[in-house]
Amino acid sequence: MTVTAAPGLPLVLGVLEVVDVHRLSPSFVRLELGGDCLLDLGTDGPLLDQRFKLVFPAASGELPDFTGADESWFATWLAVPAEERGHMRTYTIREVRGSGLDTRIVVDVVLHVADGEHGPGSDWAAQAKPGDRVVTLAPRKGHPFGGVEFLPGAATELLLVGDETAVPAVAGILRDLPADARGAAFLEVPVEGDFLPDVIAPAGVELTWIARGDAPLGQRLHAAVVEHLGVDGVSATAGEVAAGEVAPDVAPEDVDPDLWETPSYSSSGEEVAEDPLPHEGLYAWIAGESGMVTGLRRHLVRGLGVHRRQVAFMGYWRRGVAMRS
């Protein structure tokens, strides 16, 4: 297998080949990706919602060449003409299989079947077959990479919410939680056939799957989470839920396509928590389409007055907007 590993870099940057493809459901395809560069793959702790990058081939079918890449690899890549550099997208490491030179990353990719909108990542995954090649950027043993946002601190009650793009992350978090964890997880997917049987929660965390069907994206999910929290909310200290609130009701211009509000980072420039580790009580981790996440953020932060230290809101994608890199 040919690899363009970059041994000097604090991350794994190299070519992977599709080893196996498994169509899990109408909206998910599971890919197993292998390559010699994964010999150096490693994270500090459990995978949880560990993110990584894939670079898909350009329209010509060619992958960008990262041979000899150094610290300026990103700027060098961006300087390549857009039609030649391929497309970089973010995914979740669903699982790591094997070891040594046989290490493989498992990734569950959402096929954008329902909306009729297609991106290069979804298109590539839909047609992937063993032997197809893709570039990865992934955590390297012994080097900080970041990319895990689930940091519950001393929280005693969990709320995990995601649409289909966050199913792999929620699945990883549920798998890695301690057996005595308590809370609830809500996952909205396009159709009932997308309820994945290998997403397993500890006994104290109730997992609810929601099929979107014909409803607007996130509407059923929003209603279920609002109902779960109730007017008092698990750790609410202020505010009230509007009577009968069931839909996000968020104007498109109010949605930040790069929404990323965690206890230690704010995409909108808000002051982050001085003490960013969640205290006792509720910790909410919410990811998916940015409009859906914005609606739930309003409900939790403005409506229920939950402290920003206790919440992580992540826009994984924005309807109608292709990812920038």
- Residue ranges binding ligand FAD (CB under 6 A): 51, 87, 89-92, 107-110, 112, 115, 117, 119-122, 164-165, 168, 316-323
Task: Report whether 231 contacts 241 (CB < 8 A).
Answer: yes
> How near is the Cβ of 23 to ligand FAD at its closest, in Å?
14
Cβ–Cβ under 8 Å, residues 47 and 168: no
* Smallest distance, ligand FAD to C-beta of residue 49, A: 7
Question: Least CB distance from residue 156 to ligand FAD, whole Å?
Answer: 26
Nearer to ligand FAD, 171 or 225 (CB): 171
279 Cβ contact partners less than 8 Å away, ≥ 6 residues apart: 153, 154, 155, 307, 309, 310
Q: Give the nearer residue to ligand FAD in terms of CB position, either 230 or 320.
A: 320
Rounded CA separation 94/105 (Å): 8
Nearer to ligand FAD, 87 or 297 (CB): 87
Question: What is the nearest approach in angstroms of ligand FAD to the Cβ of residue 314?
Answer: 6
Run of H or E including 73:
helix 73-78
DSSP string, 37-50: GGGGB--SS--TT-
Pick the closer one to ligand FAD by CB: 205 or 287.
287
Which of 237, 325 has the CB closer to ligand FAD? Answer: 325
Distance CA 241, CA 232 (A): 9
Q: How far is the CB of 288 from ligand FAD (least distance, A)?
A: 8
Query: Closest CB to ligand FAD belongs to which residue?
Result: 119
Give strand pairing partners of 183: 158, 205
- Centroid of chain to Cα 280: 25
